[in-house]
A and B are shown apart, each in its own frame.
Chain A
C-alpha cells in the first residue's frame, strides 16, 4: 500500500491490577478458583450491599500515573455506568467518568530507531465484570443455557486511554509491549495479553496525508496478544483503505478481530450504542489523595526498564543485546539481580541465565519464576568451575540435572561423581593408559608433531568421562613424553 493515507490510532487499554482483593470488597482476586467461590454480597450485587474502595488499587493507579508522567488529580469521582447484562450483577459498573483519578502524561517509545512520545488522555479505575460460559452457542443469544461465574466480578481494572497519537499498527504493538513491560516493572499488573490481564481496544481511522480532520473511525476489539494488535490493526487499515479507494463509505462501528481468519468483523454499529446514563456513584466518597501519600508512593517506584538497561551496559559491561534480553521481563532482571547480589560476576551470571537456563525454560515452556533454581545455585556453579572442581562441560550437565530434579548443585556434583580430577596421582594413571593405547600418536608427537597432544588430551578426557582437568592432563602428558 502506498502512503497516500495516514493511519490514526488511539488505544483503550484495560489492565487488571495486581491487588490481593477486589476493587470494592475484600474477596480474593486469585485466578483459577472454583466458580463462584471468591464472592460475597457486594460483588454479587445483593440488595443493600455497599462498595468500599480498595486503597491498594488507588495506590497502584497513582503509581502508574507517576511513572507515566501524568497529573494525579486531587479530586476524582467514581460513577455508575448503567447497563443490563448477566455478568454485571448490579446492572451498573462502578467506573469513573468525567473526573478520572489521572489525566495527561505520555509514554516514550522507539520505532525503527526513532523516539516518539505517545500522549495519554487519562487513566481511571473501574471494576471488572463476571464471566459467562455458554452452552450450544458462542454468545448468550442462541445458547441453550448460560452460566455465570462472579469470581472475576469486581476485580480492579485500570483503563488507560491514549490520544490518537499512534500512526501505524507497528507503533501500536510497540506501545503495548512497552506499556506491558512498564506495568510489570511497577508491579501494577502482570500484563499478560494472552491471559487477559492486559486487554486492548483500538480506535482507528485513516485520512489523506496532510488532511487535518480525522476520518470516520471504527473500534476494534479482541486483539488478545501483541502480535494480534499489529495484525488486527493492519487488517483494519487495509479494509479502510480499500473502502476509501473504491469510494465506499466507512461507517462508525465496533468490530472484532477474528484470530482464525485474520479478518475484522462487525459487532455493532453506532446506532446500537448504549446510553450508559453515567452519574456520580452515591455510595462512595470522592477520591482525594493527599500529597504526602503521593510522595510516599513515588518512593516505591523502582528503577524502570530503560534506566536498568543503561546500568547493565555501562556498569556491568554487558552487550546491548544481553541487557535488552535481561530487562525483557521484570522476573528475568529480578533473577539476574538476585544472583548479582550474592556474587558480583555479571558476565558469568548473564551467560548462564541467557544460555543454558533460558534454553531449559524454552524447552519446558516455563517461566523463570517457575523454576526451582535459587540464585545462590547459579553462583555455586560458577564458583565450582572457577575452583576447577568441575569443568565447564560438566557444569552444563549439572545445571540441567539440577533443574530437572530440584536437588542442589552440590548434591548433583557429588552424587554423579562428576567432580574434576585435579589430583596428579589419580590422573597420572589415566594419562599412562592413554599413552599406552595410542602408540601411533605418541610416535607422531615425538617426531615433532606437537599439536597431536590435543588428541591425547581428548583420550584422557574420554577415559575419565570428562572429569579430568584438561590443563593438568596436558601438563602430565608433556611431562611423560618430553
Chain B
C-alpha cells in the first residue's frame, strides 16, 4: 500500500477499500524495515499519526489529503514537535508555532509521518553535513541521496512515506529528487508562504513538493501554494488548479529551450545522452526545440556563494544560546556563551558559510562582493527573461551526473558546490522548475529539469506530465525494496 501514490490511495480511500490506519501502518512498517539502512528521518510522530488516521477513518478528519501520509523536512516549524534543522544547536528546539505549510497540510487532512533529515540548516548537497546523521540513497546505500532535502527524497524513494515536502535554496529539492528518482518541484519564489520555514537564505528559499509522480506533485502544490499575509514576499497571484494541467501530450507548439551552457562541459556523458533522448521524445510529441544560450550562467555558482552565505550569516545569528536551543556549558560570561555555543552547535559547513557571508557583508568588502553579486544576479535574471521571450519552458539535466558516493566529495566543498550549476541559477532568478525521473544509469536514477516562467508552474507540469506518461521512469523502484 505504501508503494502507491497519493492519488491512487485517495481513490481507494474514497471507495472505502482501504483505511487511513492501514495506510499509515504500512508506511511505518516500511520504516521499520528500511530506516536503519536509509536513515531518512530525524523524528517520527507515529502515535500522533495513528491517532489522526483513526480520525480520518471515523470521518472526523477530512480534506483533499485526508489520510495521506507526508514527511516534512526538519527545517519547517511544527508546534510541539522537535524541529532541529539537523543541527546540534537546535537539538532540543520545540517550536511554539506551526509553519504555514504545516497548518495548510493539517487543514487538508494530511498525516505527518515524521521530520526528515537534511544537511544542517539546508546547507549542502548530500546530507553529509547533517549534525545528526547521513541519509543513504535507497538506490545504492553507498551513495548519497542528494541534499539538502535528502531525507525527504530518500523517504519517498524508499516508500517510507507517500508524499514529502522539502525546501530548495540552490537545488535542495530538485537535486535529491534527481538522485533518488522522484519528482521534485521548486515553485516560483513567492508562490508558497515561507512563514515557519527556518531561513537559510531568505531571498532564495522556497518550499516545494517531493512526490512519486507528477500528479501527486500537482495535488500537493494545490494545497500548499498561495499568498499569505504573514510572508511579505509571498505573491498575491491567484493559484490555479494544477491538476488541470495534467493532460498528456498537450504540448504541441510549445517552444522548449535547451540551455546550451548546461549541456556542455562538465556534464556526464550518459546524463547528456539521456537528456538528448528526452528532448527527442518531447519533439516527437509536437514541441519545438530551440537551443538557447544564457551567457551569465557561468557566474551563478559564484554569485550564489556570496548571496546565500551573506543572508545566512545574518539569519543564523539568532542561535546564540540566549533564548532556545543549545547553550554551551562552558560559559563564563556573555562572550564565552556566544562563542562556545556557536562553536559547539554549528558544523563545519555552516561555520564556513557564516564566515564567508560575514566577510562578504563587511565594511570595505560589501561593494566588491555582495553588491556585485546582486548585480550579476540581475544579469542572470535578464538572461532568463530573454530566453523566455522565445520559449515557454527551458530544459537541462537536473544534475551533471548521478548520485556520488558517501564521502566522495565531503572534503572537496568546491566540487560539491559546482555540482549545483544547473539548479542554482533558477533560484537566483526566482523561477519555478521541476525535476522528473529520466533514465537509470548504472542503477542510479537521474533527473530532467524543466524550468518555467515566473508563476507558470502549469506549463512545466504539463511538459513533465507528458514526459512521465510517455516514459514511465517514475515507476522504477530501488532494488533493495
Q: Which residues of A contact B (CB under 8 A)?
A: 40-41, 44-53, 80, 82, 84, 86, 89-92, 140-141, 148, 275, 277-279, 282-285
Contacts and interface: CB of A to CB of B under 8 A. Distances in A.
Contacts of B358: 277
20 contacts: A45-B318, A45-B323, A46-B95, A47-B83, A47-B90, A48-B76, A48-B195, A49-B97, A53-B232, A82-B317, A84-B320, A91-B317, A91-B320, A141-B333, A277-B314, A277-B363, A279-B366, A282-B202, A282-B203, A282-B233
Nearest to A47: B198
A84 B95 CA distance: 22
Contacts of A48: 75-77, 95, 99, 194-199
Contacts of A283: 199, 202, 232-233
Contacts of B99: 48
Interface string B286-317: 00000000000000000000000011011001
Contacts of B311: 279, 282
B90 A90 contact: no
A373 to B, nearest CB: 44
A282 B194 CA distance: 12
B230 A52 contact: yes
A40 B97 CA distance: 9
B94 to A, nearest CB: 11
Interface string B181-207: 000000000000011111101110000
Contacts of A47: 77, 83, 85, 90, 93, 95, 198-199, 318
A80 B314 contact: yes
Interface centre among A91, A141, A284 (most CB of B within 10 A): A91
B229 interface: yes
Given A41-B97, A49-B97, A283-B232, A89 B195 contact: no
Contacts of B320: 84, 86, 91
B232 A52 contact: yes
Contacts of B363: 275, 277
Interface of B: 75-77, 83, 85, 90, 93, 95-97, 99, 194-199, 201-203, 229-233, 310-311, 313-314, 317-318, 320, 322-324, 333-334, 338, 358, 361-363, 366, 370
B370 A279 contact: yes
B107 to A, nearest CB: 19
Contacts of B324: 46
B400 to A, nearest CB: 29
Contacts of A82: 313-314, 317, 361
Contacts of B197: 48
Contacts of B313: 82, 277
Given A46-B97, A48-B199, A82-B317, A89 B323 contact: yes
A285 B233 contact: yes
A141 B229 contact: no
A166 B370 CA distance: 37
A86 B97 contact: no
A56 to B, nearest CB: 15
Nearest to A53: B232
Contacts of A84: 317, 320, 338
Contacts of A53: 232
B232 A89 contact: no
A360 B65 CA distance: 69
Contacts of A284: 232-233
Contact of B77 (A46, A51, A285): A46
Contacts of B75: 48
A277 B232 contact: no
A50 B322 contact: no
Contacts of B76: 48
Q: Which 8 pairs of residues, A with B, have the shortest CB-CB distance?
A: A91-B317, A282-B202, A277-B361, A282-B203, A47-B198, A48-B196, A48-B198, A45-B318
A92 B232 contact: no
Contacts of B199: 47-48, 283
B229 to A, nearest CB: 7
A278 B364 CA distance: 12
Contacts of A50: 194-195, 230-232
Interface centre among B201, B311, B318, B366 (most CB of A within 10 A): B318
Contacts of B338: 84
A40 B96 CA distance: 9
A278 B311 CA distance: 11
A130 to B, nearest CB: 10
Given A47-B95, A277-B358, A92 B195 contact: no
Contacts of A49: 97, 195-196
A148 B202 contact: no
A81 B479 CA distance: 52
A279 B361 contact: yes
A266 B314 CA distance: 30
Given A48-B199, A84-B320, 15 more contacts: A46-B77, A46-B97, A48-B197, A49-B195, A50-B194, A51-B232, A52-B229, A53-B232, A90-B318, A141-B334, A277-B358, A277-B363, A282-B233, A283-B232, A284-B233
A165 B219 CA distance: 64
Interface centre among A47, A53, A92, A141, by most chain B C-beta atoms within 10 angstroms, is: A47
Contacts of B361: 82, 277-279
Given A52-B230, A91-B320, A285-B232, A86 B202 contact: no
A282 B232 CA distance: 10
B53 to A, nearest CB: 27
A140 B334 contact: yes
Contact of B317 (A40, A92, A148, A275): A92
A277 B93 CA distance: 28
B318 A86 contact: no
B85 to A, nearest CB: 7
A279 B97 CA distance: 28
Contact of B362 (A91, A140, A277, A282): A277
Contacts of B229: 52
B274 to A, nearest CB: 36
Nearest to A90: B318
A275 B203 contact: no
A290 to B, nearest CB: 16
Contacts of A140: 334
Contacts of A80: 314
A285 B235 CA distance: 11
A275 B268 CA distance: 45
A279 B194 CA distance: 20
A279 B231 CA distance: 19
A45 B233 CA distance: 18
A53 to B, nearest CB: 7
A261 B217 CA distance: 70
A277 B194 CA distance: 24
A45 B195 CA distance: 13
Contacts of B203: 282
B412 to A, nearest CB: 29
Nearest to A82: B314
Nearest to A146: B334
A92 B96 CA distance: 21
A140 B322 CA distance: 13
Contacts of A285: 232-233
A279 B362 CA distance: 10
A86 B322 contact: yes
Contacts of A86: 320, 322, 334
A125 to B, nearest CB: 15
Nearest to B337: A86
A46 B99 CA distance: 11
B29 to A, nearest CB: 32
